Amino acid sequence: MSDKVLAPDSKVISYFSVAGFSRTRSHHMSNETRHLRHPKGETHMPRTKHLNSDGSPMFTNRLSHETSPYLLQHAHNPVDWFSWGEEAMIEAKKLNRPLFVSIGYATCHWCHVMEEESFEDLEIAEYINNHFIPVKVDREERPDIDAIYMGAVQLLNGNGGWPLNVFLTPQCKPFFGGTYFPARDGDRGPSAGFLTLLRRIREAFDEHPDSIEKSSEELTQAIRKMLAPLPGSEIPSPIILKRAADLFKHIYDPAHGGMKGAPKFPSTLAVRFLMRCHRRTGDSHCLAMALHTLRCMAQGGIYDQIGGGFHRYSTDEAWLVPHFEKMLYDNALLATAYIEAYQISGDKIFKRITEEILDYVLKEMRSPDGLFYSATDADSVTDSGEKEEGFFFTWMPEELDLILDKDLAELAKSYFSITGKPHFEGRYIAHINRDEQGVADEEKLSIDEFRNKITQIKETLCLERLKREKPLTDTKIITAWNSLMISAFARAGFVLDRPDYTAAAEKAAKSLFEKVLVKNRLFRTFQGGKPRHWGCLDDHAFFVQSLIDLYESTFEQGWLKQAIDMDDILGTYFEDKDCGGYFMTASDHEALIAREKPGHDNATPSGNSVQALNLLRLHSLTGNPMYLNRAEKTFKAFSHHMEQSPHAFGDMLLAVDYYHDLSKEIVIAVREGSFEKTGSYLDVLRRSFVPNKVVAVVNGTEEPDNCKTIVSIALGKTSGEHDVVAYVCEKGQCGLPCTDPLEFEKRIMT
């Protein structure tokens, strides 16, 4: 089979190109549009400019029956939206109309812009309703649909983003698409606007059906090939780890950290891999790149210096001007990276940032039942009532003069760089480009006095900020993202010896079991009091990871047993038994035009990357060769593509590193009633960066308990006459029992 990507029929492409849409920018009404009462109640504030005199919405469409905040945002558009499902497909076939599928998410800035410009426009809405079957999709609820049609747009245009707008045949095969389209000819640059494009697409659909059919079939075949690549035959060798490190060095920005150029995403430089590279090889450059990147991010505007937590990405190379939405997954992944940076360096800035991220999440993103909301919006309402990106998070110098005492105001402006030329929309973004000690010396303060004043400034500004209208919070609960945050709290709870963080992780995990596991099947989301949509690969893989992390933070065997049970479900429904690896959707999932087997990391790690490491950890704990065999098959499934682009598999590199390392199997056997005496051993683990390990704390008696039955590495490990005895093993080969914490530290660090 040729490696060449098939493009749509040239006649169709040229037809659309004359409208000025052969490449699109990457950013993030039927005759009887129904007039329905909104099911959310009389107090619901409809998100539309089309209101009756009593304030009720003029239009209400099918999305009013959904629970997704994103879909509900569009419930009162004059566009007569369908949600993805059989009803829309039947209607498209019955009327022989193309499907217009628009994909986005609740906190997407450019999704909001296109809604206001086009989907609230009566003329555009009427044309869509009369000539297309319009379908709205929340990409966070349906990543399977998003992946397929994002692949189509990337093949068509070479780029992608949200809103994602794609046109399909009634058989759901794509033939054209793009991202944000301005509404009218000449708006924002392009010579032809969305309405003109709609007319041209419908004309092409009617006048060139054979070309549309041919191009859609070619594009569908290309998508299938792209989303489920052919496997390799070999397990990646350690050489791939060096190649990946060299590639990261090549793209590294020595001035600002991260990847060269802009925009800058936190995930584009695999800092956790680079820290492992340093530990394995002693390469100081790898460690310097990772720590410098994390420090620069923590000092930049991408980090909310006042309230904690990271924004989604930076629009510039210096991490200064962010896209202001905050995503749960970013903050979970970054908290994990910062806690590892603290372990490897001992630098307390990394400890502080970890705690500020997690404290922010507990304060702003936690639901009453202990789960975590998905995101907060970039847009907020200004003092004049206009909606503006970033207003909630930005400042003016005169505001600080009114809010703070004079000395604190001057210190805040100096330290947080709220001086000189404004950074964004005439306002200032708090960021740090000065050394703490230097500012303290300039202000004639001790470092402790300086830090106390900065804390006071932050607390005051945070309270003042709450007087503004807060950005929208997407309260949807996503299983995969909650699992990442459970892992972050569990790991930080252990490393920092913070029982409150561990308790937050345990409560969230218990709530996930209660809310989204129904009859032994995992759902992806929980919203409006009910679970929705079958879970995808990342929901299952990330949940397994979080349960293993909880076990290694609490040493309660129930969490490990649940991780094993959840892996059984994952293997049953998602595993490619023939070629290895895991599909995004379950074997009994809705049939789509393609079934993805994700390997590349995106904003979150791929489910295959996380699952590969899960399997290696489960093998180390249980000794069951089945887990190792499945991990090796996963490596083989992606080995060809890893060889081509190792830097695109950042989290799978962690698993490859674990596989080739002499990973540690650590057992701490404790005499009954002496658990408190494990403290000195656990403190060694807390301060030591030993990523490729598993840890079990077990009863030190001779008789095997339930834990030892599951954790085979604990069999035969006893405390003897001692209160605590530690065992350090590598690939099943164990050294002599250890009763000295200092000796224990030497063994795990070699």
pLDDT tens for each residue of 438-477: 889 988 899 999 999 999 999 999 999 999 999 999 999 9
For residue 105, the one-letter residue type is: Y
Contact 518, 531 (CB under 8 A): yes
pLDDT for residue 428? 97
The tokens of 623 are what?
């000794």
Count Cα atoms within 13 angstroms, Cβ side, for 663: 21
How far does Cα 199 stand from its chain's mean position?
37
Q: Where are the domains of the chain?
A: 10-227, 239-377+474-660, 379-470, 664-749
Nearest to 427 by CA among 391, 466, 470, 476: 391
pLDDT for residue 7? 36
- Please tell me the least confidently modeled range out of 337-341, 407-411, 480-484, 711-715: 711-715
- Binned at pLDDT 50, 70 and 90, residue 705 comes out as low
Indicate if the pLDDT at residue 703 is higher than 50. Answer: yes
Indicate if the pLDDT at residue 534 is higher than 60. Answer: yes
Indicate if the pLDDT at residue 10 is higher than 60. Answer: no
pLDDT for residue 192? 83
Which residue is listed with tokens 């006893």?
718
Nearest to 172 by CA among 534, 591, 588: 591
Indicate if the pLDDT at residue 26 is higher than 60. Answer: no
pLDDT for residue 34? 36
Alpha helices in 3-47 (DSSP H): 10-17
Of residues 24 and 619, the one with the higher pLDDT is 619
287-319 core/surface letters (b: 16 or more CB in 10 A; e: else) = bebbbbbbbbbbbbbbbbbbbbbbbbbbebbbb
Of residues 23 and 602, the one with the higher pLDDT is 602
pLDDT for residue 47? 84
Contact 669, 717 (CB under 8 A): yes
Contact 325, 379 (CB under 8 A): no
> Average of pLDDT values for 491-517?
98
The tokens of 179 are what?
């991202």
What are 459-466's contacts with CB under 8 Å, separation 24+? 460/403, 460/404, 460/408, 461/306, 461/395, 461/400, 461/403, 461/404, 461/412, 462/306, 462/307, 464/399, 464/403, 465/306, 465/307, 465/392, 465/393
Give the chain's mean pLDDT: 91
- pLDDT tens digits, one per residue of 322-344: 999 999 999 999 999 999 999 99
- Binned at pLDDT 50, 70 and 90, residue 720 comes out as confident
CATH code for the domain defined by 664-749 = 3.40.30
The yes-or-no answer to whether 10-227 and 664-749 have a common fold is: yes
Instruction: Please give the Cα distance from 498 to 357 (Å, whole number).
Output: 14
pLDDT for residue 148? 96
Indicate if the pLDDT at residue 229 is higher than 80. Answer: no
Of residues 541 and 673, the one with the higher pLDDT is 541
* Residue length of the chain: 750
CA 283-288-290 angle, to 5 degrees, is 105
How far does Cα 37 stand from its chain's mean position?
35
For residue 596, the one-letter residue type is: E
Nearest to 110 by CA among 155, 165, 32: 165
Right CATH for 10-227 from 3.40.640.10, 3.40.30.10, 2.40.50.140, 3.30.530.20: 3.40.30.10
> Average of pLDDT values for 258-279?
93
> Average of pLDDT values for 593-597?
94
Indicate if the pLDDT at residue 20 is higher than 50. Answer: no
Fold of 239-377+474-660: Glycosyltransferase (1.50.10)
pLDDT for residue 702? 62
Nearest to 608 by CA among 596, 622, 620: 596
Indicate if the pLDDT at residue 18 is higher than 80. Answer: no
pLDDT for residue 531? 96
Count Cα atoms within 13 angstroms, Cβ side, for 590: 14
Indicate if the pLDDT at residue 44 is higher than 70. Answer: no
pLDDT for residue 710? 86
pLDDT for residue 675? 83
Contact 321, 429 (CB under 8 A): yes
What's the first-to-final CA gap in the chain, in angstroms?
48
